[in-house]
Structure 1
């Protein structure tokens, strides 16, 4: 029961993060290094991917695979978090918050894998 609640909380937060890619797109675009091409397209595409994965996490037949894909997605976006941590002056966030995001990424990976592990 608790595991299911945790999974639904994770999926809800992940879906909202995907929506954020459209609502505060400038933040996400600025989070990537300037040399990355098609930054806006990448932001919107990753937002769609987050929302899609969130939906697949709550649908039981796709849950386990969606958990693995979500973990892989979180690994793929980790370099952006590193970039932000090493360039804190570019953001209106405290530097410590950008550094706290790094271990949080591993917690999120653990959370989604634990919540989607087949019984």
Structure 2
């Protein structure tokens, strides 16, 4: 039951984020590391990936598709981590300190949890008890 609820929460989060990436790409372009090629295309395709991953995560017809969505969203979260780090650096360098460490530090610690959560609710990481 808890896994199903968390699957839907994560899917809603990713779906909303994907829609925002597609509808309002400008804020994401400002935090993109300079070394990323074709930033507009990257923001567009990350939005598409978030929406498709969210749909794949909650569809009831195919466990392999849920697993693919879980792996995809986990890899996505890993790949966007540099943009989150870049955002923290840019934001904290502002004269007013931007959103501050109270925003950015939890966000950095949340990233591995989101990666694990995508794998767990996507049924990619079955939890098994060690046998005695």
TM-score range, shorter chain: 0.7 to 0.9
Q: 1:94 aligns to what? A: 99
Stretches of 4+ aligned residues off by more than 2 angstroms? 33-37
Name stretches of at least 5 consecutive residues in structure 2 with no aligned partner.
127-132
1:43, distance to aligned residue in structure 2 (A)? 0.5
Q: 2:129 aligns to what? A: none
Q: 2:24 aligns to what? A: 24
1:85, distance to aligned residue in structure 2 (A)? 1.5
In the aligned structure 2, how far is the partner of 1:74 from the partner of 1:109?
Answer: 6
Q: Compute the TM-score of the two structures, normalised by the length of structure 2.
A: 0.79
In the aligned structure 2, how far is the partner of 1:85 from the partner of 1:104?
Answer: 14
Q: 1:82 aligns to what? A: 85
Q: Deviations over 1:65-114 (max 9, x none)?
A: 21112111111111111111222146x95122123211111111121112
Larger Rg over CA atoms:
2
Among candidates 106, 111, 119, match of residue 117 of structure 2: 111
Other structure's SS at 1:87 match: helix
Q: Compute the TM-score of the two structures, normalised by the length of structure 1.
A: 0.87
Among candidates 71, 74, 81, match of residue 71 of structure 1: 74
Name stretches of at least 5 consecutive residues in structure 1 with no aligned partner.
none
Q: 1:59 aligns to what? A: 59
1:35, distance to aligned residue in structure 2 (A)? 4.7
Other structure's SS at 2:36 match: coil
Alignment check: 8 A CA contact 2:22 2:48 kept = no
